[in-house]
Amino acid sequence: MKPILSRSGVAALEMALVAPFLVTIIIAGIDFGGALLSQARVVRILADSAEYATLAGQNGVAWGTIQNNTKTIAMSATSPFLGTPTVNLPVVNQGAGAGSRCCIGSGTWSCSTSGTFTCADGSTPGVYITVTAQYPITTLFSADAFLTGKTLTESIVAPLQ
């Protein structure tokens, strides 16, 4: 006669073995989702700061005020998944000299102070502001090897005038 084996603890044992993996996957999913949401928030904040700079430039606001206010707006992105940001002072025309007008074509800049300067694509040269921000990513799960210690860097270019 065979002995009767009890299977009453098998489910509990299986759950004890699988639960750490399930919890890890859930927390990692929350970390990745939070990082993606934070990136969208940062892009929106940088777009807001560039929009402010464009409107302020059109209304004759002093450049120093535009720089400081644009930086303040860019630093206002908050999220439980973002650390304290580093926002560079906004740059006009990638540092081209005063009075320069620039064209942006395929990611390359061409600038000139000449009044007859035209863009290769036929568009009118302009004055552009670049806002760049770096946000350290914070995670719920400190052992998250993909996100721990990473920095989210975003940049936006917008017409100033």
Q: What is the 3-state secondary structure (H, E, C) of the chain?
A: CCCCCCCCCHHHHHHHHHHHHHHHHHHHHHHHHHHHHHHHHHHHHHHHHHHHHHHHHHCCCCHHHHHHHHHHHHCCCCCCCECCCEECCCEEHHHCCCCCEEEEECCEEEEECCCCCCCCCCCCCECEEEEEEEEEECCCCCCCCCCCCCEEEEEEEEECC
- pLDDT higher than threshold 80 for residue 141: no
Please check whether residue 143 lies inside any domain of the structure: yes
Q: Which domain holds residue 69?
A: 11-159
Does 77 reside within a domain?
Answer: yes
Q: What is the pLDDT of residue 48?
A: 92
Kindly state whether residue 139 falls inside one of the protein's structural domains: yes
Q: Report yes or no on 6 lying in a domain.
A: no
Residue 1 has pLDDT above 70, yes or no: no
Flag whether 75 is in a domain: yes
Q: Is the pTM of this model over 0.85?
A: no
The end-to-end CA distance of the chain, in Å, is 93
**Looking at the domain assignment, is residue 46 inside a domain?**
yes
Contact 135, 152 (CB under 8 A): yes
| Residue-wise pLDDT tens digits, 51-97 | 998 898 888 888 889 888 988 998 888 888 888 888 888 888 877 87
Q: Say if 119 falls within a structural domain.
A: yes
Which residue shows structure tokens 């990611």? 107
Is residue 8 predicted with pLDDT exceeding 80? no
Q: How many domains does the chain have?
A: 1
Contact 156, 130 (CB under 8 A): yes
**pLDDT score for 76:** 87
| pLDDT greater than 90 at residue 142 | no
